[in-house]
Amino acid sequence: MRNVFVLLLGTGLCTVSSSAQQPSFTYTLRLTDPALDRVEIVLDTGPFREEEIRFFLPAWAPGNYYVNDYGRWIDSVRAFDSLSRPLKVHRAGINEWRIADARRLARITYTARDIPEDSLESLPTTLNEITPGYFYANGPTVFGYVDGYLAVPCSLRTVFPADWKVWCSLDSLTPFGFHADDYDQLIDCPVLAGPSTIEEYRFEVNGVPYVAVFNSETKVPSDSLVEYMRSLISHHTAFFNEVPFRQYYFLFNFFVATYRYGALEHANSSAYFLRPPVNARGLRQSTITQVIAHEFFHLWNPKIITPTSLKPFNYQKGPRVHSMWFIEGLTEYYAKLALIRSGLVPRSFFYEQLRGLALENSRENLEQLGLKAGELGVAPSMYTKGALVSFLLDITIRDQTGNQKSLDDVILALNRQFGHEGRPYDDRTLIKTMEKLAGVDLRRFFKKYISGTEVVPVDEYFRKGGLLYTYVYPPFLGWGLDVDEGGQLFVNAVAEQSTAAALGLRAGDIVRRINGTDIPADLDSVRIIMRKLDSVRVGEPVRVVVERDGASIDLHGTVIGSPLPNVGVVEDPDASGAATAIREGIFHIP
């Protein structure tokens, strides 16, 4: 059964003079009876100047964009004056309530139900989770706002069981109390709470504090993960040459079996619902490390480098973002690049990632898909094709400028000219801004591959970047092998057009020797011999001695290649000096 929490909004932590008719907002988050499946919220506001106010729950959550209409999980909205006398409340829509006689308003109460993650096509990080073992809430699911008062500062106080701790990236007022400059900041700082079984790891990078919280049902190699986080933090902050926060929280929720996984960026934190790492082996190149690199880069894009379509936030109308390919695709490209530039993984890993992106090359119009994110969510191709076109834009800029300018220069300039000045860029004309900053013509590329439906010619662009998009026909042995009860290795299947078929192997043959090595009777030794066959190459000689119907048969020939190729990305050994410089420049930290 799901746990229950109570949000008590308004306990007098923040007050202003009633004569000024300026309301104050204080939020208290309280967990009570774990046997219930809903929460009560109380908002103490103080009086308003208006006779009637409009109270809302957001329709969507920044970073996810999909319109969820969180008001669907809100019930029993009531309002009271300072003497606890009820005021009239009218529900005007899915996410809206109107409260009369607001000049006497002192408190708003309502209940919020837990949102099951299988009830929406949305990331679990955008919802709330209430269980006996932990509590997680993304702000838009539980915190309402009064229309016209988003800029009012507020406080948050949390009340949980005595043995629980709470983690929130807002500035702390007390161990269980926090301050937000405005509503936007309040709901951009999710809350995670739970008992001492939740592991906390505090560390610093260049004197700045970070907190990693591991809410996991299995043991997590936290030391190794924190070390990789240090590397990515150092890389990203060195790339932008700034640390735009006082503290940063990583809120990890690791679960083996869940309906959906995901992550969500915030201004000074990021939240994750992922499968737990089994051990430290392979963690460097794991999905977890890649997602961390992606979400931390989001701190700048789009949290600081923000498009006009997202600023200011309209929490009742799903955004129409022309530059979603830039927000998600470019971020994904730089996340992959960060793993190389930080030294966490070798170049071969990056090339394998490029291979995957090139294989998913599509005709989808990324600009149109971005405009539909509120209806459909962020399309998968925004990450795959979006990352691919970002990489090719990097190559294009470097190629047209003799490697004197790059996508790095464009991002850093956008951060200086828009992020540092606190003004959004016009995402309808983003490509023109990028052209101006890079000094190159990008309109044709944009119209064909981003706002158009042409398939990107990866071969052509990869060569400009000193790479080859190759087609490799791997060895195709094509036999199925098994061991019988007596420990004998035998053939149980033979594939057509394979090496086994060319040799004349048949199902039922008992294998006695392969390439001069006798087949032993113990299974472990058989496995060693079979692993050696993984390294054979097309065209190499192969010889197999089998027993068939009591007779020994010597079969020999050469290894045949697969009729279907494997695609690979490799460095071009014949690349020109210019192409080589572009390739090396991409891996260089500016």
First to last CA, the chain: 52
d(CA 265, CA 253): 14
The helix (run of H) or strand (run of E) holding residue 148 is: none
In whole angstroms, give the CA distance from residue 337 to residue 204: 23
pLDDT, average across residues 282-309:
96
Tokens representing 99? 């409260």
Q: What is the mean pLDDT of residues 441-458?
A: 94
Concatenated DSSP letters of 281-308 = TT-TTSHHHHHHHHHHHTTTTTTTS-BG
pLDDT, averaged across the chain: 90
Task: Look up residue 160 and give its amino acid.
Answer: F
Whole-number Å distance between alpha carbons of 567 and 556: 29
CA angle centred on 589, ends 588 and 590, rounded to 5°: 105
Q: ω before 276 within 30° of 0 (cis)? A: no
CA pair distance 76, 91, nearest whole angstrom: 10
Average pLDDT estimate for 512-527 = 83
DSSP assignment of 362-396, as one string? ----HHHHHHTHHHH-S-THHHHHHHHHHHHHHHH
71-93 as b/e: b if 16+ CB within 10 A: bebbeebebbbeeeeebebeeee
Contact yes or no for 397/385 (Cβ under 8 A):
no
Give per-residue burial for 328-352: e unless 16+ CB within 10 Å, then b: bbbbbbbbbbbbbbbebbeeebbbe
Give long-range contacts, CB 8 A cutoff, 24+ apart: 88-97: 92/54, 94/59, 94/69, 95/56, 95/57, 95/58, 95/59, 95/69, 95/70, 95/71, 95/316, 96/54, 96/55, 96/56, 96/71, 96/316, 97/54, 97/55, 97/56
- In angstroms and rounded to an integer, the radius of gyration of the C-alpha atoms of the chain is 29
441, two tokens: 């013509």
Q: Is residue 208 very low, low, confident or very high in pLDDT (cuts 50, 70, 90)?
A: very high
Provide the β-strand partners of residue 154.
25, 180
Residues 99-142 pLDDT 10s: 999 999 999 999 888 888 777 777 889 999 888 889 999 999 99
- Specify the pLDDT at position 142: 93
Q: How far is the C-alpha of 356 from the C-alpha of 559, rounded, in Å?
A: 27
Torsion of CA 302, 307, 309, 313, to 10 degrees: 50
> What is the torsion angle, in degrees rounded to the nearest 10, for the CA atoms of residue 124, residue 129, residue 134 and residue 138?
70
User: How much of the chain is helix, strand and coil, in % rounded to 5?
Assistant: 30, 30, 40
- Residue 19: predicted pLDDT: 40
Give the whole-angstrom CA distance, residue 479 versus residue 482.
Answer: 10
Contact 243, 237 (CB under 8 A): yes
- Summarize the confidence of residues 301-322 as an average pLDDT: 95
Q: What is the pLDDT of residue 224?
A: 94
pLDDT tens-digit series, residues 535-553:
888 999 999 999 999 999 9
Confidence of residue 41 (pLDDT cuts 50, 70, 90): confident
Query: Do the strands 52-56 and 145-146 form a parallel or antiparallel pair, or are they unpaired?
Result: antiparallel
* pTM metric for this prediction: 0.84
Phi, then psi, of 536 in degrees rounded to 5: -70, 155
* Rounded Cα gap, residues 29 and 142, in angstroms: 9
Contacts of 532 (CB under 8 A, 6+ apart): none
pLDDT at 377: 86
Residue 278 or residue 8, greater confidence: 278
Alpha-carbon distances, residue 82 vs 15, 29, 105, 149, 586 (angstroms): 13, 21, 7, 20, 63
What is the pLDDT, as a whole number, of residue 151?
95
Average the pLDDT over each of 112-121, 302-311, 402-411 and give the range with the smallest value. 112-121
C-alpha 569/C-alpha 126 separation (Å) is 36
Which tokens in the block code for residue 500? 């086994």
Q: What is the pLDDT of residue 251?
A: 98
* pLDDT score, position 181: 96
Convert the pLDDT of each residue in 417-443 to its tens digit: 999 999 999 999 999 999 999 999 999
What pairs with residue 517 in β-bridges? 514
pLDDT band at 4 (very low <50, low <70, confident <90, very high): very low
Task: For residues 131 and 537, give the distance between their C-alpha atoms in angstroms, rounded to a whole number.
Answer: 54
User: Which pLDDT belongs to residue 35?
Assistant: 67
Q: Is the pLDDT of residue 186 over 50?
A: yes
